[in-house]
Amino acid sequence: MDPGVKYIEIPAHLSKPAGTPGSRLLEIERAKASFSSDDLTLYLHGKEHLERVKRILPVLENEPAFDKSRIHFMSRTDKFKAGLAKEKRLAQLLTELDWSAKDHALAEDMLDWPAAFGLHNRWRLPRHGPRPVRSKRNEEQAPEQLETDRTFFAGSYRSMFLKTLAEQSNEEQLKLFYEPAKNFEIIGCYAQTELGHGSNVQGLETIAVYQPESKTFKLQSPSLTAMKWWIGGLGRTADHAVVMAQLHTPDGRDGKLVKRGPYPFVVPLRDVKTRELLPGRTIMDIGPKAGYAMTDNGAMLLDNVEIPHINFLARWAKVDIETGKFEKPVNARLSYGTMTYIRANIVQQARMVLARSATIAIRYCAVRRQFADRDAPVLDGNKPAETQVLNYQLVQHRIFPPLVQAFACHYTGKEMFRLYEENQTAMADGDFSRLADVHASSSGLKSLCTIMASGAIEECRRACGGHGFSLSGGLASFYADYLPQVTWEGDSYMLTQQVGRYLFKTFRVLLADRDAPMSSENRTRDYILRYISDPEAKASAKYAGDLADPEFFIQAFGHRAAYLTATALRKRDIERRTWNSLLIDIFRMSVAHSQFVLVYNFARAIKTDKDLQSQPALLRIMTTCFELFATYTMDSEAAEFLSSGYISPKQHELLRNRVHALLADLRPQAVPLVDSWGIPDYQLNSALGRYDGDVYPAIVRFAQAEPLNKTRFNVNIHETELEVGPEMGQSKGSKL
Amino acid sequence: MDPGVKYIEIPAHLSKPAGTPGSRLLEIERAKASFSSDDLTLYLHGKEHLERVKRILPVLENEPAFDKSRIHFMSRTDKFKAGLAKEKRLAQLLTELDWSAKDHALAEDMLDWPAAFGLHNRWRLPRHGPRPVRSKRNEEQAPEQLETDRTFFAGSYRSMFLKTLAEQSNEEQLKLFYEPAKNFEIIGCYAQTELGHGSNVQGLETIAVYQPESKTFKLQSPSLTAMKWWIGGLGRTADHAVVMAQLHTPDGRDGKLVKRGPYPFVVPLRDVKTRELLPGRTIMDIGPKAGYAMTDNGAMLLDNVEIPHINFLARWAKVDIETGKFEKPVNARLSYGTMTYIRANIVQQARMVLARSATIAIRYCAVRRQFADRDAPVLDGNKPAETQVLNYQLVQHRIFPPLVQAFACHYTGKEMFRLYEENQTAMADGDFSRLADVHASSSGLKSLCTIMASGAIEECRRACGGHGFSLSGGLASFYADYLPQVTWEGDSYMLTQQVGRYLFKTFRVLLADRDAPMSSENRTRDYILRYISDPEAKASAKYAGDLADPEFFIQAFGHRAAYLTATALRKRDIERRTWNSLLIDIFRMSVAHSQFVLVYNFARAIKTDKDLQSQPALLRIMTTCFELFATYTMDSEAAEFLSSGYISPKQHELLRNRVHALLADLRPQAVPLVDSWGIPDYQLNSALGRYDGDVYPAIVRFAQAEPLNKTRFNVNIHETELEVGPEMGQSKGSKL
């Protein structure tokens, strides 16, 4: 955020902002802290992570290929090239500095430049890679080293390519494809989505037919809508692809072709040396998007392309090379584990998206002043002419929720990884009892958290006023780059049906038998049982103090989720309504269930987290954050709590007043709290959110680097020439 | 949306999408219409407008300078140049084709390229220009021609520049500044906002001191935060500016300087011939933003700049040339009229933003198919493998509301112009009784409609799935360009305080005296009086049929607005709470009041609009749209209706079910309804929203034009070279 080139000089005597400097304002804010920001940072991120930041960040900041100051001034073509250069340099550093997968993941986070080597580098593992469950019957024994490699992709570029190769290759294929891919000898992409087929994998058109006579698969795109589309890295970069295609094998009755569903194939695209396209491949970049300018999302038609038998990834499913006889994989449910894992990552990522948005908005609103406020606090002994924007209650109501939502996502993300681990271990032992709950919650949370986080970026951007619209602010481009999260990995609206199915099923089971066997730790069962035993339950809160009990919110959010499920289930099972006519109800059920999970995990941390219990100052501030999260969320969704009769209008009033009081409580802690997330300026890349508060000079430096400022333009409407010549600058003032 | 250049050819036999073509799908949709789209178009826009479109649109479509096909592939610099070329050509056409202000306004609408000659070209008048009210005492007589000119800026580039010159110049200044500006001999901008001062005009830092000895004003930026910032057209284009500066005159006691507040000055910036910057001006473009790439928003420091006495715009306020004695303008309230007018324009614009978003999403969702649905309708005698996305209830719930909100804004926009006219006339006669209500409603509506419209663009974009993220879809860039509306002309969050003040005041007055004099047509008074006479009123609806009465919603929304006002007023007047601690309550009051106005005007049209009464098919469909608008809005805000006790949980259930039923009712009419808005493909500029439904080939053509596709890239991580050479294309398929 400090562009090197300056075309226009600012007169030295005019280079200081008026009034109390931003740096001083933030200093005052930080002095108000009721806790140690450093302690909270350590609590949130852990020592290992902080040491890693200390080691990795300076490397990035000093690497010319990773200089962020010019990026917003580049054309798409130049951005793509900068991205490619970044990918290459990062790949070199991995070896040069012997970076681990976690180091790499952190570097990608700080850089924040999703680029040519992988659209999917945001889906990664902060602590441990996913562990593919091995079917005991079907598994060839792999060496230990491989097991490590199979988890390596997590923090990596090309992750879906490597991931699929690692998870779906047999031993021979690992050597043939995975090893060279890992060493950057081949560059790959993962080609699933088609022009006319997004969410519905079963609907893919691309066909792969096995031909025993030539021992080859023939791949064909049957139409324009079969064109592979949106594929990250396919446009200009990849020379290989894992292509998902409808497998057809000639082992039906009388040797007829049988459709076997979508399976992965390794398809070479370009000559690795000359980079020329191989025959039958029509490939292109799909053009500019709202964000992701560095990534060459690509399109591809395959026309009569033949690949050898070995290119069908055969770790789980198999096609006999001689006869073409198909052997299906053992347990389809295994893949749900990976999905859960990816979604846990999305929730963990949402936490940082929320924190980053809040950091920028809260710091800038502490520096920015607008309008006089009679009640505004005195600064350095003087009454300021204008008040800090952060003092406005309405501003607090817009930008404090993202801050406390970040903490909510923090605890739930942690819990999701724990459940993922537990479930993977259980599944490896043949125990699938946790799967449904873990899968449903992860679907609902993916939906809720991506919608919440994207909304928060934009709300924080607006709260920055006009300057939020400039790319110097760092939020507008961040929003554009984050948006795909709402759509991919299960569209966040359609995905809620997974939650609906699970809640209906669980409710039906428990309605029939309250002692139906389920995994011991199942909060969904708990709240449904509570509801079934007392559907007319009412909240007992009478005083503001009653809202200090975390249990109040666990009960309330549980009751609401169960109430919505019961209401929709009645329509489904008694009124026999169509599934489609319940989609809105189901969406609301999913939101309610997911908010319950967020509230539950946050509340549990407040009550039982040992690190927190041993640090009173942290416990105090986390408790305030929890209370704001719980009351704000409940107030935002008040209609459903009122409609079920669970709370009265009077209790709603109590709740709303409590939200307002908590905003005021949190006000002096807002800057120290965002500091605690420890997001470095290099990552924020924002003139508004700078740690030092020197906002206005940074905005001006950004403008000074705009290339347009090099040129004088011709505005005479009778002349078509657009340029006059170079800008000559300006001298010191004088008379007109 | 049909880029001319194609770098990559699609094999001819693969150029057809699978399944029923989009064109056929839309044909089927259109055949379902229960009304004539053409009749509705005529009803909405009027004959004059449609004939204008017929005349102007072909000119734009055939003008090379207005070709939209390449724009998304350009760098910022090239976009700026394309914008400048567009401005010049448009200025020529104005003369060549003798276009009226309305023709010009329409052309800007269709082009949708806010560019170098004026950030403010969206604020314009569809029917008539604002009529500055003349103070009878203070006005020099202007010739008739001038009065026309004073309204001319409405449909124009540089509108705030011309507008200020037209409204604030005396006769001499009109000749000196306005005439050459109008004829493009000088190009101007309007410089008010400063780096550190957005909303608060009184807080501006820039100083203008009158010096009687030299008969000049000296302008000075005292600090970096005084830098003029965000000024449309200032960065590279303008050679003159109207600068708002704090006037200081030497007519205090003992000849001391007295601060008189912000006033407009004409400041030359560049030599009109050489385009060189004049001394003392530091000027630059502020760099890239989320949108508005064609516009050179600029920054400027003034250092010891002197301008002659005549450059102070002196139609209303005056500074004596000899003594420097200041004479203040007569009636400050007059300017509220203009604000009302601008805000009425913003509401009228929001209507088209909503309609345009809905058009793209609804047409594309009628063409796009995802997943099988057992209940999906049969098409052309065949059961389709996947169902139209438009059939999903949850999708309808996301994209039908913008459609019906567009109609709501249509009626309220019309009403705002009527009230504006009426109020201007009354004010000219010294009657200011309408002003407060008109001003408050226009503030609240500006806030609500911009937040609603910006949200709708993004919701519609997401409903387009992955393709919504591509710039080919037309919504992502539209969103970015629309966003400033939320922030400028009164930040849509802070602005609600205007409504709060008015509602508090009105409530207090009526509480003290129910017969207090107000303008006869004051709906605010009506709903407050109803509330005061029966604060415990309850909705009477028992059956779905009861929700068919428009009066039900007028009563309900009025009661809610009054209830929120009463609740907040109690905190203010009895609990003596600070204004700041009520900002959230006040925001909610503003939303409630503005939604009441939208519901009221829509309901009144349904009940009394003569054009509608005479066309039963139109009346029928508009009634359905009204019902969906009213029930959906009420359901979205249900917490407040429940909390006041106005509706019961059971009535809420009734309401929600009615929303779902209305979505299903509207489903077959959705495509004909968006067609009725008559937005041409040229304006939509969307591969997804094309009238003909040929979506997929259009998306592919967009990709084919991406310049990156001309080059092969070097991905070898050990080589720094990024390019290999030109892309060689591909041949027909063959064996690997």
Q: Among B224, B389, B631, B727, pick the best mutation site for testing chain A contact (most A Cβ within 10 A).
A: B224
Q: Rounded to whole angstroms, what are the CA distances from B408 to B169, B352, B552, B562, B618?
A: 38, 11, 17, 21, 15
Strands A240-249 and A188-191: parallel
Contacts of A259 (CB under 8 A, 6+ apart): A246, A247, A248
* DSSP letter assigned to residue B706: -
pLDDT at residue B664 greater than cutoff 70: yes
Asked if residue B651 and residue B539 are part of one domain, the reply reads yes
Mean pLDDT value of segment B578-595: 97
- Spell out the residues 6+ positions from residue B230 whose beta carbon is closer than 8 angstroms to its own: A466, B193, B286, B297
Region of poorest pLDDT, from A129-143, A532-546, A632-646, B381-395: A129-143
How much of chain B is in helix, strand and coil states, percent to nearest 5? 55, 10, 35
For the segment A419-443, the average pLDDT, to the nearest whole number, is 90
Per-residue pLDDT, B503: 97
Q: What is the pLDDT of residue A198?
A: 73
- pLDDT tens across B684-697, in order? 999 999 999 999 99
Q: Are residues B72 and B172 in the same domain?
A: no
Question: CA-to-CA distance for B604 and A337, rounded, in angstroms?
Answer: 56
Distance of CA B607 to the CA centre of its chain: 28
Q: Report how far residue B308's alpha carbon sits from residue B218's, in angstroms, rounded to the nearest whole number.
A: 9
- Domain check: are B194 and B290 in the same one? yes
Structure confidence by residue, pLDDT tens digits, A201-246: 888 999 999 999 999 999 999 999 999 999 999 999 999 999 999 9
Q: What is the mean pLDDT of residues B318-342?
A: 82
The pLDDT, as a whole number, for residue A77 is: 96
Q: Which residues on B lie below 8 Å from A224 (Cβ)? A: 10, 14-18, 696-697, 700
Residue A515 covered by a domain: yes
**Same domain, yes or no, for B589 and B660?**
yes
Highest mean pLDDT, choosing among A372-386, A422-436, B277-291: B277-291
Q: How far apart are CA B363 and CA B379, in angstroms?
A: 17
Of A466, A487, A727, the CB nearest to B466: A487
Contact B14 A299 (CB under 8 A): no
pLDDT recorded at residue A374: 59
The pLDDT score that the predictor gives to residue B1 is 43
Does residue B201 sit at the A interface (CB-CB below 8 Å)?
Answer: no
Listed range (A107-116, A269-278, A637-646) with the worst mean pLDDT: A107-116
CB contact B48 to A (< 8 Å): no
Domain total in chain A: 3
Whether the per-residue pLDDT at A383 is higher than 80: the answer is no
What band does A381 get if pLDDT is binned at 50, 70 and 90?
A: low
Strand pairing class (A298-302; A281-285): antiparallel
B236 touches A: beta carbon within 8 Å: yes
Q: What is the pLDDT of residues B480-532, one digit of tens each?
A: 999 999 988 888 999 999 999 999 999 999 999 999 888 777 899 999 999 99
Residue indicated by tokens 């053409």: B38
Residues B318 and B178 in one domain: yes
Is B611 among the domain residues? yes
Nearest to A692 by CA among A24, A2, A5, A16: A24
Give the contacts of A437 (CB within 8 A, at least 6 positions apart): A502, A506, A518, A519, A522, A524
- Residue tagged active-site, from A29, A87, A205, A489: A489
Amino acid A579: pLDDT? 95
Instruction: Determine the pLDDT at residue A370.
Output: 83
Residue of B309, B483, B628, B706 best to disrupt the A interface, most CBs of A under 10 A: B706
pLDDT score for A129: 35
| Position A375 confidence tier, pLDDT thresholds 50, 70, 90 | low
Of A215-224, B9-18, B373-382, the one with minimum mean pLDDT is B373-382
Please check if A193 is assigned to a binding site.
Answer: yes
Residues in chain B: 736
> Is there a single domain that holds both residue A90 and residue A204?
no
Whole-angstrom Cα distance, residue B443 to residue B494? 10
The verdict on A64 and A195 lying in the same domain is: no
For chain B, the average pLDDT equals 90
- Measure Cα distances from A486 to A262, A346, A443, B364, B558 in Å: 24, 10, 12, 19, 37
**Among B469, B563, B712, which would you mutate to test the A interface (most chain A Cβ atoms within 10 Å of its Cβ)?**
B469
- A217 φ, ψ (degrees, to nearest 5): -100, 135
| A661 has a chain B CB within 8 A of its CB | no
β-bridge partners, B298? B231, B285
User: Considering the domain boundaries, does residue A390 fall inside one?
Assistant: no
* pLDDT given at position A331: 63
Cite the DSSP H helix spans in B573-615. Answer: 583-608, 610-613
Which of A8, A205, A735 faces B284 most closely, judged by CB atoms?
A8
The sign of the CA dihedral A254, A255, A257, A263 is positive
Task: Compare all CA atoms of chain B with the CA of A73 and give the residue at the minimum distance.
Answer: B288
The Cα–Cα gap between B241 and B189 comes to: 5
Q: What is the pLDDT of residue B199?
A: 66
Whether the CB of A211 is below 8 Å from some CB of chain B: the reply is: no
Cβ-in-10-Å burial (0-12, 13-18, 19+) of A533 comes to: exposed
* Domain end residue (candidates: B651, B667, B683): B667
Q: Which residues contact A506 (CB under 8 A, 6 or more apart)?
A: A436, A437, A518, A524, A525, A528
> Residue B565's beta-bridge partner residues?
none
When comparing pLDDT for B614 and B382, which is higher? Answer: B614
Task: Tell me what the mean pLDDT of segment B429-450 comes to.
Answer: 92
Q: Which of B329, B351, B369 lies at the terminal end of a domain, its last residue?
A: B329
CATH code of the domain covering residue A47: 1.10.540.10
Query: How many Cβ atoms sit within 10 Å of the Cβ of residue A606?
Result: 19
User: How far B559 CA lies from chain A's nearest CA (Å)?
Assistant: 16
- Let me know: does A722 contact B86? Beta carbons within 8 Å: no
- A587 and A496 in contact (C-beta within 8 Å)? yes
Q: Is residue A708 part of a domain?
A: no
Interface touch B722/A81, C-beta < 8 Å: yes
- Indicate if the pLDDT at residue B137 is higher than 90: no
Is A530 within a domain? Answer: yes
Please state, in angstroms and rounded to a whole number, the distance separating the CA atoms of residues B640 and A656: 12
HEC profile for B500-534?
HHHHHHHHHHHHHCCCCCCCCCCHHHHHHHHHHHC
Q: Tell me the pLDDT of chain A averaged across its residues.
A: 90
**Considering only CB atoms, which chain A residues are within 8 Å of B731?**
279-280
- On the question of pLDDT at B333 being above 80, the answer is no
Residue B564 pLDDT class (50, 70, 90 cuts): very high
Q: What is the pLDDT of residue A143?
A: 33
- Report the relative pairing of strands B240-249 and B188-191 from DSSP bridges: parallel
Closest CA to A456 of A387, A409, A393: A409
Nearest-CA residue of chain B relative to A473?
B289
The answer, for A703 touching chain B at a CB cutoff of 8 Å, is: yes
Task: Report the pLDDT averaged over residues A469-495.
Answer: 93
> What stretch of H or E contains A651?
helix A649-666
- Are residues B101 and B233 located together in one domain of the fold? no
What local confidence, expressed as pLDDT, does residue A424 receive? 86
Let me know whether A81 and A171 are in one domain.
no
On whether both A560 and A645 belong to a single domain, the answer is yes
In a domain, A216, yes or no: yes
Flag whether B236 is in a domain. yes
Burial group, residue A697, by CB count within 10 angstroms (0-12, 13-18, 19+)? buried
Give the pLDDT band (50/70/90) at residue A141: very low
Per-residue pLDDT at B126 exceeds 50: no
Is residue B606 within 8 Å of B521, Cβ to Cβ? no
Chain A residues within an 8 Å CB radius of B653: 643
Radius of gyration of chain A (CA): 28
Q: Mark which residues 319-338 of A lie under 8 Å from B by CB.
A: none
Q: What is the pLDDT of residue A606?
A: 96
Q: What distance in Å separates the CA atoms of residue B340 and residue B6, rounded to the nearest whole number? A: 48
Q: Supply the residues of B annotated as catalytic.
A: 489
Q: Beta A240-249 vs A305-308: how paired, if at all?
A: unpaired
Cβ neighbours for B28, distance < 8 A, ≥ 6 positions apart:
B379, B380
Q: Is A213 on the interface with B (CB under 8 A)?
A: no
Same domain (yes/no): B88, B180: no
CATH number of the domain at B631, please. 1.20.140.10
In this prediction, residue A694 has a pLDDT band, given cuts at 50, 70 and 90, of: very high
Question: Would you say B2 and B701 are in contact if contact means Cβ atoms under 8 Å apart?
Answer: yes
Judge contact between B299 and B248, C-beta under 8 A: no
Residue A276: its chain B contacts at CB < 8 A? 712, 728
Give yes or no for residue B729 having a pLDDT over 70: no
For the question of whether the overall pTM of this predicted structure is more than 0.90, the answer is: yes
Q: Is the pLDDT of residue B476 over 70?
A: yes
Summarised one tens digit per residue, pLDDT across range A555-568 is 999 999 999 999 99
A484 contacts B469? CB cut-off 8 A: yes
* Domain-terminating residue out of A271, A306, A329: A329
Judging contacts by C-beta atoms under 8 Å, the chain A residues touching residue B198 are 370, 465-466
Both A499 and A633 in one domain: the answer is yes
Beta partners for residue A130, in sequence order = none
A734 interaction partners in chain B (CB closer than 8 Å): 279-280, 304, 306
Q: Residue A140 domain-assigned?
A: no
Model confidence at B101, pLDDT cuts 50, 70, 90, reads confident
Is A645 known to sit in a ligand binding site? no
What is the widest separation between alpha-carbon atoms in chain A? Answer: 98
Q: Would you place residue B708 in the very low, low, confident or very high pLDDT band (cuts 50, 70, 90)?
A: very high
User: What pLDDT digit, counting tens, does each position of A9-68 carry?
Assistant: 999 999 999 999 999 999 999 999 999 999 999 999 999 999 999 999 999 999 999 999
Residue B222 in this model has a pLDDT that exceeds 70: yes
CATH of the domain at B207: 2.40.110.10
What is the residue range of A104's domain? 32-111
Query: A702 contacts in B (CB within 8 Å)?
Result: 286-287
Q: What percent of chain A has pLDDT over 70?
A: 90
Q: What does the pLDDT look like over B595-650, one tens digit per residue? A: 999 999 999 999 999 999 999 999 999 999 999 999 999 999 999 999 999 999 99
Distance from CA of B44 to the nearest CA of A (A): 31
Tell if the CB–CB gap between A722 and B81 is shorter than 8 Å.
Answer: yes
